[in-house]
A and B are shown apart, each in its own frame.
Chain A
Amino acid sequence: MDGGVGYVDMDALKATELRLGLPGSDPPEKPPPTTTTTARPTKRSLDEDRAARREPSEGGRATSTRATKAQVVGWPPIRSYRKNSFQAMKAAAEAAGLYVKVSMDGAPYLRKIDLEVYKGYKELREALEDMFKCFEGCKGSEYAITYEDKDGDLMLVGDVPWEMFTSSCKKLRIIRGAEAIRGLGSSQ
């Protein structure tokens, strides 16, 4: 079980391996072989591999990773059946968008936003503030963002998890002034 005759022990190999290039530099990363090439995988010593990975040059590495990912046939190993159905579902979901109307008390017209663009409440709040800046005047803080859910009830934005909110929100309404303060009451 020792490797036998003719098989080089890993550790011995490391010590004797000849390398091109300056010491400590990364060997150029070859993309993993595709079906159209029979490139033998680059022989790298363990140290080189470790060095390459420690450098978190995210930008360059990420793009090359993205590019190489696209090239590798059959990796990761998921069934083409699953790939197809999932991609179809994803495409359908992405195409839809989640557009809801936004009304603000006192504003002459409404706006429409795509909830899927935002990752959470903070971003939504910021976007809404941005959108309705021109109507706020000096009393910027006295407002409450509410929404109408699928049952038709007026709810305060922020109580439920984001995903639940995006799936049940039918339209947004920004309530301003005294009404908003009364409504906020104990919360926040």
Chain B
Amino acid sequence: MVRGFGWAAAFPDEVWEHVFSFLAADADRNAVALVCRAWHRIERRSRRRVFVGNCYAVAPAAAVRRFPEVRAAAIKGKPHFADFNLVPTDWGGGAEAWVEAMAEGWPHLEELRLKRMVVSDDCLELIARSFKNFGVLSLVSCDGFSTAGLAAIAANCRSSPVHTSVGLEVAILVSVASEGVNELSLVYLLLSSADIPYLRNLRELDLHENEVEDNCLNWISHFPESFTSLVSLNIACLEGDVNTSVLECLISRCPNLKTLRLNHAMPLEKLVSLLQRAPQLVDVGTSKFSADHHPELFSKLESTFAGFKHLKSLSGIWEAGPTYLPAIYSVCESLTSLNLCYATIQSPELLKFVSRCKNLQRLWVMDLIEDNGLIAVAASCKLLQELRVFPSDPYGVAPPISLTEHGLVAISAGCLMLHSVLYFCRQMTNAALLTIANNRPNLTCFRLCIIEPHTPDYISQEPLDAGFSAIVESCKDLRRLSLSGLLTDRVFKSIGASANRLEMLSVAFAGDSDAGLHYILSGCKNLRKLEIRDCPFGDKALLDNASKLETMRSLWMSSCSVTLGACRQLALKMPRLNVEVIDERRGRPLESWPDDFPVEKLYIYRTVAGPRSDTPPCVWTV
């Protein structure tokens, strides 16, 4: 060790560990690890949270070896455009390799969050068996599993050391003083042909927008009677019916339950009786919110919701008609988060509801709210920070909803704390974008989707370059941007020059030439993720900016003008990039194709793990 860093030894490791514990950001911890060997050692042993933005960027075993004491892991798999069916379903992102490595090396793992990964039932069973102190399982936009896998998770939950289950051979009471813990813990060990530590203290089961096969109708009933530690349950994405009475028992015996998000299938009457058992809920996702009008049901719903003294977040409300919405007006004042993006409520009712929500910070809603509704929101919801407006009829041609740029402009003027926007609409002007940019320089996330590609400013017929340029020039902290409408290379010039904090950029049907891509890659200092589709960007910009790609997490390009030759050159030049060419049509191997072969889909990401071994037939690592 260099003598100059002898000061590191001046304090015992525990002191440095304690100091490092104040560093929340991974980037800071990474920096610390580079200072000297001692800090590197101390930091890696004390890192408790790991975030892997691309599951193929590092080998699971390497990650587990480097940070042996991790308690919380978050891993992401498929590229973002997989959400829109642009990535072949067999592309990859399987979770097994990670779960196996974690089961081996992180037996004390408490939290696991997977996004856009393929998780099999076997994976879930492995998770259920492997982690003694498991508390949080979150699966977002994943697929590959079924309710049978969920049953395995449920069955392994214990809250107190009481053994039940069938198939038990021998139960032994053991008192253990485990390392690092001062008090004795009483532990029942179940001995059978497979030794099974159990999921103690599962607090959170969060299933968000997954494709789950429904093959085990009563998976909820696999939670043992002794299981009482649930704090958060989100099953909104499940298609099938869930046994209401079993769920009622579960809810009744979990006094700490704060979040309950149910699925669509449950009828309103059952929902009401369920919710009555948990007035302490902070976050509720309802099921179907429509039924024939029954005064009794209405008043039951009303009193149930009036009983929620702590409700802050409301979602679900599928298929809501105007009939039952007034029953829950009582919670409006206290709501900070409202997700009505599946609620097919028309503007007048929506308006009435949302304008009562004076403390709203987050609003997700359908374009059925219309400009009038947004104007009302701008007047009432002064604390609004995040707005998402989704299209109710994205493929239809008529009748057009009266949601235009005016709604967004009103929000930008009235909601001073607005920093995050996702907005689907059919028309836009540069003037509107300019106004928004001037009103809200504090925007950090601006995603505008004008539904028809190549749509210009509908008044001037100009491209929307000026408008988006204004956004990036005014909003200095912009971290995420999605472009749409008619755009030339000019907008990319502005983005490259001004968007210094930009981390993620999504581009579609835009630009005129390679210059566009070059502007982005040669600017945008902090760019991490770039995803492009249907733009005339090609080889030159890519090759000229090859080294930039190693500073980013990933680049996706589909239906652009990249040739195989450029990919080969790029792969040669940059050994620490995986250059994946995706082509679902051809059967011949990559090697036989000529250099000028047009690449349909391209996914480039930095990695220290080398080319991956699980590529499907349609993917070639060049």
Residues of chain B lying within 8 A (CB to CB) of residue A150: 292-293, 323
Cβ–Cβ contact B453 & A72, under 8 A: yes
**A82 to B141 alpha-carbon distance, docked (Å):** 11
Render A1-12 as a binary contact track against B, CB cut-off 8 A, 1 for contact: 101101111100
Cβ–Cβ contact A50 & B461, under 8 A: yes
Cβ–Cβ contact A76 & B534, under 8 A: no
A97 within 8 A of B: no
A36 within 8 A of B: yes
Cβ–Cβ contact B395 & A80, under 8 A: no
Report the nearest B residue to A29, measured CB to CB. B454
Cβ–Cβ contact A78 & B454, under 8 A: no
Residues of chain B in range 81-139 having any CB-CB distance to chain A below 8 Å: 81, 83-86
**A78 to B389 alpha-carbon distance, docked (Å):** 11
- On whether A4 and B536 interact (CB within 8 A), knowing A38-B598, A163-B346, the answer reads no
Cβ–Cβ contact A62 & B397, under 8 A: yes
Residues of chain A lying within 8 A (CB to CB) of residue B342: 82, 85-86, 89
**A46 to B584 alpha-carbon distance, docked (Å):** 34
Residues of chain A lying within 8 A (CB to CB) of residue B512: 10, 13, 43
Residues of chain B lying within 8 A (CB to CB) of residue A54: 461
Residues of chain B lying within 8 A (CB to CB) of residue A13: 512-513
Cβ–Cβ contact A4 & B85, under 8 A: no
B490 within 8 A of A: yes
Cβ–Cβ contact A89 & B319, under 8 A: yes
Residues of chain B lying within 8 A (CB to CB) of residue A10: 488-490, 512-513, 515
Cβ–Cβ contact A65 & B397, under 8 A: yes
- Number of residues on chain A facing chain B (CB within 8 A): 51
**A92 to B506 alpha-carbon distance, docked (Å):** 34
Residues of chain B lying within 8 A (CB to CB) of residue A164: 322, 348-349
Render B249-270 as a binary contact track against A, CB cut-off 8 A, 1 for contact: 0000000000000001000000
Closest Cβ–Cβ distance, residue B564 to chain A (whole Å): 11
Cβ–Cβ contact B322 & A74, under 8 A: no
A40 within 8 A of B: yes
A138 within 8 A of B: no
Residues of chain B lying within 8 A (CB to CB) of residue A72: 453
A49 within 8 A of B: yes
Residues of chain B lying within 8 A (CB to CB) of residue A161: 348
Closest Cβ–Cβ distance, residue B40 to chain A (whole Å): 38
- Number of residues on chain B facing chain A (CB within 8 A): 72
Cβ–Cβ contact A163 & B513, under 8 A: no
| Most chain B CB within a 10 A radius of its CB, from A8, A10, A46, A77 | A77
Cβ–Cβ contact A53 & B461, under 8 A: yes
Cβ–Cβ contact B488 & A167, under 8 A: no
Residues of chain B lying within 8 A (CB to CB) of residue A36: 585
B540 within 8 A of A: yes
Q: Which of B51-59, B158-166, B516-524 contacts A (4 or more CB under 8 A)?
A: B516-524
Q: Which of A35, A49, A75, A76 contacts B600 (CB 8 A)?
A: A35
A69 within 8 A of B: yes
Report the nearest A residue to B490, measured CB to CB. A10
- On whether A1 and B523 interact (CB within 8 A), knowing A32-B509, A54-B461, the answer reads yes
Cβ–Cβ contact A7 & B514, under 8 A: yes
B477 within 8 A of A: no
Render B324-356 as a binary contact track against A, CB cut-off 8 A, 1 for contact: 000000000000000001101010110000000
B547 within 8 A of A: no
Render B202-232 as a binary contact track against A, CB cut-off 8 A, 1 for contact: 0000000101000000000000000000000
B565 within 8 A of A: no
Cβ–Cβ contact B534 & A167, under 8 A: no
Cβ–Cβ contact A89 & B318, under 8 A: yes
Residues of chain A lying within 8 A (CB to CB) of residue B535: 41
Cβ–Cβ contact B322 & A167, under 8 A: yes
A109 within 8 A of B: no
Cβ–Cβ contact A74 & B85, under 8 A: yes
A73 within 8 A of B: yes
Cβ–Cβ contact A3 & B344, under 8 A: no
B571 within 8 A of A: no
- On whether A75 and B84 interact (CB within 8 A), knowing A13-B512, A35-B584, the answer reads yes
B373 within 8 A of A: no
B390 within 8 A of A: yes
A140 within 8 A of B: no
Residues of chain A lying within 8 A (CB to CB) of residue B454: 49
Cβ–Cβ contact A32 & B394, under 8 A: no
**A80 to B141 alpha-carbon distance, docked (Å):** 10
Residues of chain B lying within 8 A (CB to CB) of residue A3: 493, 515, 518-519
Cβ–Cβ contact A38 & B600, under 8 A: yes
Render A55-80 as a binary contact track against B, CB cut-off 8 A, 1 for contact: 00000001001100110111111111
Report the nearest B residue to A77, measured CB to CB. B84
**A93 to B392 alpha-carbon distance, docked (Å):** 14
Report the nearest B residue to A92, measured CB to CB. B319
Q: Which of A33, A83, A85 contacts B264 (CB 8 A)?
A: A85
Residues of chain B in range 550-606 having any CB-CB distance to chain A below 8 Å: 559, 561, 584-585, 598-600
Residues of chain B lying within 8 A (CB to CB) of residue A78: 84, 390-391, 394, 424
Residues of chain B in range 266-308 having any CB-CB distance to chain A below 8 Å: 292-293, 295
B144 within 8 A of A: no
- On whether A79 and B84 interact (CB within 8 A), knowing A13-B512, A53-B461, the answer reads yes
**A76 to B559 alpha-carbon distance, docked (Å):** 15
Cβ–Cβ contact B83 & A38, under 8 A: no
Closest Cβ–Cβ distance, residue B117 to chain A (whole Å): 15
Render A161-184 as a binary contact track against B, CB cut-off 8 A, 1 for contact: 101100110000000000000000
Cβ–Cβ contact B449 & A4, under 8 A: no
A130 within 8 A of B: no
**A155 to B488 alpha-carbon distance, docked (Å):** 57
Cβ–Cβ contact A65 & B452, under 8 A: yes
Closest Cβ–Cβ distance, residue A8 to chain B (whole Å): 6
Closest Cβ–Cβ distance, residue B396 to chain A (whole Å): 9
Cβ–Cβ contact B84 & A53, under 8 A: no
Cβ–Cβ contact B344 & A89, under 8 A: yes
**A51 to B515 alpha-carbon distance, docked (Å):** 25
Residues of chain B lying within 8 A (CB to CB) of residue A80: 83-85
B451 within 8 A of A: yes
**A166 to B560 alpha-carbon distance, docked (Å):** 48
Residues of chain A lying within 8 A (CB to CB) of residue B84: 73-75, 77-80
- On whether A76 and B85 interact (CB within 8 A), knowing A7-B514, A53-B456, A85-B342, the answer reads no
B533 within 8 A of A: yes
**A75 to B584 alpha-carbon distance, docked (Å):** 19
10 interchain residue pairs of minimum CB distance: A74-B84, A7-B515, A150-B293, A38-B598, A33-B559, A74-B86, A163-B346, A81-B209, A50-B461, A77-B84
Question: Footprint of A on B, CB under 8 Å?
Answer: 81, 83-86, 141, 209, 211, 237, 264, 292-293, 295, 318-319, 321-323, 341-342, 344, 346, 348-349, 390-392, 394-395, 397, 424, 449, 451-454, 456, 461-463, 482, 486, 488-490, 493, 496-497, 506, 508-509, 512-515, 518-519, 522-523, 533-536, 540, 544, 559, 561, 584-585, 598-600
12 A-B residue contacts at CB 8 Å? Answer: A3-B493, A10-B512, A35-B559, A41-B535, A65-B397, A74-B85, A74-B533, A76-B391, A77-B508, A151-B293, A151-B295, A164-B348
